[in-house]
Chains A and B, each alone.
Chain A
Amino acid sequence: MKENVIKLKTPLTSEQVSKLKIGDRVLLSGVIYTSRDAAHKRIVDAMDKGEKTPMEIAGTVIYYAGPSPSRPGKPIGSVGPTTSYRMDSYAPRLIEKGLKGMIGKGSRGKEVIEAMKKHKAVYFGATGGAAALIARVVKKGQVIAYPELGPEAVNMLEVEDFPLVVINDVTGADLYEEGVKKYQK
């Protein structure tokens, strides 16, 4: 595994994400959007109806997360990643529209990995359960869509040096598979 630490700022381009390889450590800064189960359904429903999505999809990075409530004076509550496979049925639609990055935890399905290869997108892992630690990289947070979904609302987050690992790159490689192979007995 390479120990590169690469600094990136959103929005991302196909060229930027194509240079990333599994195992690369990334510090991501800029605006990202939280979206999980219920919000994904609404975003894809909006796309089906030809309606506007809450955020521009092209170049965007979506964070699969539903934060805990913010305390007064804090931009966000705890905000670790949720398990990504639940968004697998929606992700290819967004990748086709130019989504460049997804942040979550856990393995992705074949269709998502194929879509990432075809349209040049990557999947980043954040550390599951390190939610208080991750809260500290969030400088600003604001609900921008679907407030009625409560913790599943879409938040716009401004992050600074969010520590991530590339799990799937544009070649279709998978860090989970490679990492486990090394330590299997």
Chain B
Amino acid sequence: MREVQVKEITLKLRELFQSACYNLGEDVIEALDRARKAEESPIGVAILDEIIENAKIAREGVYPLCQDTGLAVVFIDLGQEVHLVGGTLDEAVNEGVRQAYKDGFLRKSVCDCFTRKNTGDNTPCIMHVRIVPGDKIHLVCAPKGGGSENMSRVQLLPPAAGMEGVKKLVVDRVREAGSNPCPPIVVGVGIGGDLELSAILAKRSLLRPLGNPNPSLELANLEQELLEKINRLGIGPAGLGGRTTALAVHVEMTNCHIASLPVAININCHSHRHKEATI
């Protein structure tokens, strides 16, 4: 067994969340640059210029990319040979979030469902833990904004809907979301599993670097077809009309019940933030 102090997790997450909220990934910047070159709508070009300039300003470390620094979503792959010491995993992770949001001047966006009273420190975070082989801990932080999350959906289709039903559902969802989720968006699609697994697959698919297709040729083709269909909707940057509605579509799939065809669509805004590290 390898002993790891939970404090290491706290410190690493503090760093990752701050980095995610100020430094847009190179893959996203490259995708925005490509979109800027291909965009035909004058106002679309102007909006993409603003978004690219915004990322440059945020990188200076004074103003986060977006005021909505999100719910703190944490994905942990915990090696089964790791023995955590010095506290509980849950406390260590939430402490990392607390410190990141306080010290990084990030917005605290967590509240009670009905009183709407803010918890004041952006906790509790959303944590997804998998126990995996090995003696390492892999951490991914993915701050998620409310505007794009609100546009996301899970639907349990009948099996007869098939692939065409999935395509229609995804394209219709993006059309209905329109300008709300801050296009250009990244669309994560989780197919299969059950209600909650499809949703987790959709969110996990967003962690894949932009431009990396699904290794399965069938799903890579589906991603490409969905991207083309979405970019024919005309929604464009900021929803003001244009060619760039989505920068990418990512699909993940697993098996499902004989009675269902679960599909989750997790929409992310152009502030497509995630950072990872291994301890």
A residues sitting closer than 8 Å to B (CB atoms) are: 1, 3, 23, 37-38, 65-71, 74, 77-80, 82-83, 85, 105-107, 125, 127-133, 135-136, 149-152, 165, 175-176, 178-185
- Of A82, A105, A165, which one neighbours B43 at CB under 8 angstroms? A165
Q: Which residues of A contact B47 (CB under 8 A)?
A: 127
A180 touches B239 (CB 8 A): yes
Q: Which residues of B contact A179 (CB under 8 A)?
A: 41, 43, 234, 236, 239-242
Q: Which residues of A contact B235 (CB under 8 A)?
A: 180
Q: How far is the CB of A183 from chain B (nearest CB, A)?
A: 3
Q: How many angstroms from the CA of A22 to the CA of B120 in the assembled complex?
A: 39
Q: How many angstroms from the CA of A184 to the CA of B245 in the assembled complex?
A: 11
Q: How far is the CB of A35 from chain B (nearest CB, A)?
A: 14
B residues sitting closer than 8 Å to A (CB atoms) are: 40-43, 47, 50-51, 53-54, 57-58, 62-69, 105-109, 116, 118, 120, 146-147, 150, 178-182, 232-236, 238-243, 269-271
Q: Which residues of B contact A135 (CB under 8 A)?
A: 63
B57 touches A133 (CB 8 A): yes
Indicate whether A183 sits within 8 Å of B67 (C-beta atoms), given known contacts A66-B107, A130-B54: no
Q: How many angstroms from the CA of A1 to the CA of B241 in the assembled complex?
A: 11
Look across to chain A and name the residue whose beta carbon is closest to the beta carbon of B147: A83
Look across to chain B and name the residue whose beta carbon is closest to the beta carbon of A69: B105
> Can you sample 18 A-B contacts with CB below 8 Å?
A1-B42, A23-B43, A77-B107, A106-B178, A127-B50, A128-B269, A131-B54, A131-B64, A132-B54, A132-B57, A133-B53, A151-B108, A179-B43, A179-B236, A179-B239, A180-B241, A182-B241, A184-B234
Q: Which residues of B contact A183 (CB under 8 A)?
A: 40-41, 234, 236, 241-243
Number of CB contacts from chain A to chain B under 8 A: 162
Most buried by A among B66, B69, B116, B270: B66
Q: How many angstroms from the CA of A85 to the CA of B180 in the assembled complex?
A: 9
Indicate whether A180 sits within 8 Å of B147 (C-beta atoms), given known contacts A69-B105, A107-B178, A132-B63: no
A150 touches B116 (CB 8 A): no
Look across to chain B and name the residue whose beta carbon is closest to the beta carbon of A184: B234
A78 touches B234 (CB 8 A): no
Q: How far is the CB of B235 from chain A (nearest CB, A)?
A: 6
A83 touches B241 (CB 8 A): no
Q: Which residues of B contact A105 (CB under 8 A)?
A: 147, 179-180, 182, 238-239
- Of A38, A68, A151, A178, which one neighbours B241 at CB under 8 angstroms? A178
- Of A1, A38, A106, A131, which one neighbours B63 at CB under 8 angstroms? A131
A127 touches B64 (CB 8 A): no
Q: Which residues of B contact A82 (CB under 8 A)?
A: 68, 146-147
Look across to chain B and name the residue whose beta carbon is closest to the beta carbon of A175: B240
Q: Which residues of B contact A150 (CB under 8 A)?
A: 108, 118, 120
Look across to chain B and name the residue whose beta carbon is closest to the beta carbon of A185: B232
Give 8 nearest A-B pairs by CB, closest first. Answer: A179-B241, A183-B234, A132-B63, A128-B182, A184-B234, A106-B180, A185-B232, A132-B57
Q: How many angstroms from the CA of A82 to the CA of B58 in the assembled complex?
A: 18
Q: How many angstroms from the CA of A132 to the CA of B147 in the assembled complex?
A: 17
Q: How many angstroms from the CA of A132 to the CA of B166 in the assembled complex?
A: 37
A68 touches B67 (CB 8 A): yes
- Of A79, A176, A185, which one neighbours B67 at CB under 8 angstroms? A79
